[in-house]
Structure 1
Amino acid sequence: MTSKIIIENLKIYAYHGVLAEETLIGTYYLLNVEVQADLWKAVGTDDLNDTINYAAINDIIHQEMKIPSNLMEHVAGRILKNVKLAFPQISFIKIKITKTNPPMTGEMHGVSVEIENQF
């Protein structure tokens, strides 16, 4: 059995980007993270040790978002790597990072990068 845990639209202020103004001023980012694993045991035991602790995933996301990077791809890759290290039972991870106010011409909700990996 495969189950999903999804963190949706986690809003974090951070300082990522190639332009100097992005690393100086910063902006809000929205993060969506989906992990898949066999969580059937937790259905019966009601024990946190038998599932994926999404609060711990949230902590990893916040830690990695504090580290300024040029590229959102790099940040997403670090998050993916560290979540998998913390929870080796995960069989699939998808991460979407949206920069809500990119320094570009035009009105938009943001620009996103999405990466995923199946293990």
Structure 2
Amino acid sequence: MGKIILENIRLFGYHGCMSEEEHVGSHYTTNIEIELNLNQASIHDDLSKTIDYVHLYCIVKEEMKINSKLIEHLAQRIIQRIRKEYKEFLIKHIKVKVCKENPPLQGDVDRVCVILDD
């Protein structure tokens, strides 16, 4: 077993329940952790034997462009898309963390985050 981890993917998006969030947008940080068997990739030095982290970044970037009221929904879409596009790898576990930077709260909060484990 092994893990592929993408940390601190920084993108801009329009997610939230307040109307201003749909127009102003916010910065988001996403982390992905995928557990799977990396034995063949480590032995054969062959990209086709593993999940391409460049494509994982593209999945996050594309899903970030689709507005959601909840970052929970965004995180779930990312998980579903990874599972769909990489079903041949028999992924054991996916963990996605999505953080909204500087959320529109009436207080001093750096970010709010959700973590979904699948």
* TM-score, with structure 2 as normaliser: 0.96
Could you say what secondary structure the match of 2:23 adopts? helix
Check conservation: 2:72, 2:114, Cα contact below 8 A: yes
Is residue 32 of structure 1 aligned with residue 31 of structure 2?
Answer: yes
Could you say what secondary structure the match of 1:36 adopts? strand
Instruction: Provide structure 2 residue ranges, at least 5 long, that are not aligned to the other structure.
Output: none
1:49-64 aligned within 5 A: 49-64=48-63
What's the offset of the Cα at 1:42? 0.8
What's the offset of the Cα at 1:82? 0.3
Percent pairwise identity: 39
Could you say what secondary structure the match of 1:62 adopts? helix
Instruction: Provide structure 1 residue ranges, at least 5 long, that are not aligned to the other structure.
Output: none
Could you say what secondary structure the match of 2:102 adopts? coil
Check conservation: 2:31, 2:97, Cα contact below 8 A: yes
Q: Name the aligned partner's letter for residue 79 of structure 1.
A: I
User: After TM superposition, which residue ranges in structure 1, 4 or more long, deviate above 2 angstroms?
Assistant: none
Could you say what secondary structure the match of 1:60 adopts? helix
What's the offset of the Cα at 1:70? 0.4
Q: Name the aligned partner's letter for residue 73 of structure 1.
A: E
What's the offset of the Cα at 1:106? 1.5
Other-structure match for 2:99:
98
* TM-score, with structure 1 as normaliser: 0.95
Distance across 2 between alignment mates of 1:92 and 1:55? 19
Deviations 1:1-58 (A, max 9, x none): x100110010000000000110100010000000010011111111000111111111
Distance across 2 between alignment mates of 1:26 and 1:101? 11
Could you say what secondary structure the match of 1:67 adopts? coil
Could you say what secondary structure the match of 2:82 adopts? helix
Q: Name the aligned partner's letter for residue 104 of structure 1.
A: L
Distance across 1 between alignment mates of 2:59 and 2:92? 18
Task: Report the count of equivalent residues.
Answer: 116
Q: Name the aligned partner's letter for residue 102 of structure 2.
A: N
Q: CA RMSD in A?
A: 0.7
Distance across 2 between alignment mates of 1:49 and 1:26? 36
